Amino acid sequence: MAFTVAIDGPAAAGKGTISKAVAARFGFAHLDTGLLYRAVGAKVGDGAEAIAAAKSLSTDDLVRDDLRTLAAGQAASKVAAIPEVRAALVEFQRRFARQDGGAVLDGRDIGTVICPEAAVKLFVTASAEVRARRRWLELGGEAADQPYEAVLAEVKERDERDMNRSDAPLRPATDALILDTSELSIDEAVARAVAAIEAARA
């Protein structure tokens, strides 16, 4: 039986970590929908046209080893602002969400656009400064190619673009549980998400 969990939020808020943890906890399938846009952005970087890249996307495109870079994230945000790209990827996501056994999808418009009927909707967020520090540490901290201030500027720029795009802007669903991870440990954030899912399944 289908049971969909929609987890949205800005970059580096912790939604991916929480999504993987709850999917493992309940035996649900997991889709990081941001990878779809990162893969399209990567194909565009290779010379493909964005809409054609989205329409021809395959699961093989999701296992490239360059999809977690800052450049891929910026490219994803740019192609995600193209309505035809979003439309091409919507059905892929909805099919995934409807599969038997349950599914967790994390992204930026799952609870508002892709799966507004999801059984559980979470909006995972944190301050821009906290998210930038997490991303900077992921990139190597003091050994990173970019200083923290540059990463913070990119996080804020991406937030601005994602929240103000005309098609499916980043925002919490009206019935989403807001989960601010600025001051939470991973275990605490996951525990709150698990509690919300258990309540919905009861």
Angular region, 102: left φ>0, alpha ψ -120 to 50, beta rest: left
**17 is annotated as contributing to ligand binding:** yes
* CB within 8 Å of 79: residues ≥ 6 apart: 37, 40, 41, 44, 50, 53, 54, 85
Cα 92 from Cα 147, distance rounded (Å): 37
**11 is annotated as contributing to ligand binding:** yes
Cα 151 from Cα 167, distance rounded (Å): 25
Structure token pair of residue 27: 């035996």
**16 is annotated as contributing to ligand binding:** yes
User: Terminus-to-terminus CA distance in the chain, angstroms?
Assistant: 15
**42 is annotated as contributing to ligand binding:** no
**12 is annotated as contributing to ligand binding:** yes
Three-state secondary-structure class, residue 38: helix
**13 is annotated as contributing to ligand binding:** yes
Question: What one-character-per-residue DSSP string does 42-94 give?
Answer: HHHHTT--HHHHHHT--GGGGG-TTTTSHHHHHHHHHHTT-HHHHHHHHHHHH
Cα 73 from Cα 76, distance rounded (Å): 5
Question: Which residues, listed in sequence order, are joined to residue 177 by a DSSP beta bridge?
Answer: 122
Binding site for ATP, by residue number, is: 9-17
Binding site, by residue number, is: 9-17
